[in-house]
């Protein structure tokens, strides 16, 4: 984090990355003194509502974040920034996205949690666009021009007002990660009761195990034996995901809960034990994952955009990769037999142990699709099949060097490149 005084004193001359959060109501013009060096600008968490025309002087700028501000329109000046690749204006009050606001080099656009009803046709003519986050808006339709986004790999359109399945997306050749729950065209008015419903005070939350966009997962203990469910033998120690109430980057928490219950049990999925579904409190009680499981991958970075990263030095023998691929393929088939698209099939959402057993989690982007036509369902499955191929390809990148000439490695490589 930087300060205005540092900027004004000249202390930040030559800075490539600038982050200021000081309740700003106007753009600090001193930022322009960094025009010959600045590549990443983060002005999130202020009270900005506009950018000056001079903003385009930041000719080296590649990434701009301005989330949690007061913008009602995406600034047109962004479209004049010749090298700008990534724009993040999450959680503003944006209603209007002008045709001219999208730079030619745009690769990653985040407009989650705004009030957008219409997107410009120019969106479909940004050939480098790979990642697009639009969840939590008021979109009733998507531009037909989006059928031209041949490099789009990930899109989030959950929690909007789309009345028809956006078929212009389903045929995109590189799309692999798709989330669309919480729209009228895929409305699911069901309450799945595959597991018991318990009260929010039935358990005591302990240490936090992890958290993501949709909620916080904690270790928990039952306050007293759950004898009212004799057919369910609940373990004493469990994990509880308490969902956040608001829309997330992937969609509505209620949709995530219902999807988790719909997919049912599978050896490579975290088993759901019970649910809490009360006003102001939504939670899923799950089996506690053993301590000997670790994250397989790391989330994408700015450079990789949609593709996972891995811990430095991590390598796996082809025998373990084969075992992981077999398990993930079984998970994929299980999900789609239940007409569920995971939407976030990644190594970073996968846990593994020393024996190459895997557990797949994070259903925040998952979507039920049983209400679509047969053709649409087949295309949704095909989209997620690409994600499965990317998962395999990413694992091959960390394969032990000595195994890269093996028949097994070659077989998987051929499957990925088919």
* Numbered residues of the known binding site: 241
Q: Judge contact between 341 and 366, C-beta under 8 A.
A: yes
- Is residue 241 within a helix (H) or strand (E), and if so which, with residue range? strand 237-243
Q: Which tokens sit at 156?
A: 């989030």
Q: 231 burial class (0-12, 13-18, 19+ CB within 10 angstroms)?
A: exposed
3 state SS of 222: strand
**Alpha-helical regions (H) of 129-224:** 167-170
Residue 25 sits at φ, ψ, to 5 deg, of -110, -10
Detail the residues annotated as belonging to a binding site for ATP. 241
- Residue 181's closest CA among 375, 391, 370? 370
Query: What are all long-range contacts of 113-120, with beta carbons under 8 Å and residues at least 24 apart?
Result: 113/137, 113/246, 113/247, 113/249, 114/89, 114/90, 117/161, 119/143
Q: Which residue has the tokens 């099939």?
A: 345
Please give the DSSP secondary-structure letter assigned to residue 270: P
């Amino acid at each position: 984090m930087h300060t205005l005084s540092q900027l004004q004193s000249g202390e930040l001359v030559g800075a490539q990355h600038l982050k200021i959060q000081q309740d700003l109501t106007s753009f600090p013009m001193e930022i322009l003194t960094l025009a010959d060096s600045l590549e990443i600008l983060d002005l999130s968490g202020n009270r900005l509502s506009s950018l000056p025309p001079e903003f385009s002087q930041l000719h080296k700028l590649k990434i701009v974040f301005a989330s949690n501000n007061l913008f009602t329109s995406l600034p047109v000046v962004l479209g004049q920034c010749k090298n700008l690749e990534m724009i993040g204006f999450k959680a503003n009050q944006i209603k209007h996205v002008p045709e001219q606001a999208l730079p030619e080099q745009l690769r990653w656009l985040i407009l989650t949690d705004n009030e957008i009803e219409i997107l410009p046709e120019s969106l479909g003519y940004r050939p480098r666009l790979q990642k697009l986050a639009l969840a939590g808006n008021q979109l009733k339709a998507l531009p037909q021009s989006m059928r031209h986004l041949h490099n789009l790999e990930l899109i989030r359109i959950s929690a909007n007002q789309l009345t028809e399945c956006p078929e212009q997306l389903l045929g995109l050749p590189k799309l692999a990660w798709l989330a669309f729950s919480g729209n009228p065209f895929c409305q699911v008015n069901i309450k799945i009761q595959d597991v018991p419903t318990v009260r929010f005070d039935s358990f005591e939350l302990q240490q936090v195990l992890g958290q993501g966009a949709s909620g916080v997962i904690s270790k928990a203990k039952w306050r007293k034996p759950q004898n009212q469910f004799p057919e369910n033998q609940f373990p004493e120690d469990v994990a509880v995901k308490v969902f956040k109430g608001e829309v997330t980057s992937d969609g509505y928490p209620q949709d995530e809960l219902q999807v988790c219950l719909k997919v049912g049990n599978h050896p490579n999925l975290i088993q759901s034990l019970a649910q809490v579904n009360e006003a102001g409190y939504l939670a899923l009680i799950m089996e506690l994952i053993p301590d000997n499981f670790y994250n397989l991958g790391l989330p994408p970075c700015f450079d990789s955009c949609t593709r996972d990263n891995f811990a430095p030095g991590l390598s796996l023998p082809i025998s373990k990769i084969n075992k992981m691929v077999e398990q993930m393929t079984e998970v994929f088939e299980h999900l789609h037999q239940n007409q569920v698209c995971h939407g976030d099939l990644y190594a970073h959402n996968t846990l593994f142990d020393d024996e190459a057993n895997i557990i797949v989690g994070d259903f925040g982007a998952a979507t039920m699709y049983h209400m679509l036509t047969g053709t649409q369902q087949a295309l949704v499955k095909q989209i997620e099949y690409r994600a499965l191929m990317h998962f395999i390809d990413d694992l091959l990148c960390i394969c032990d060097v000595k195994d890269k000439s093996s028949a097994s490695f070659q077989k998987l490589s051929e499957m990925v490149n088919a």
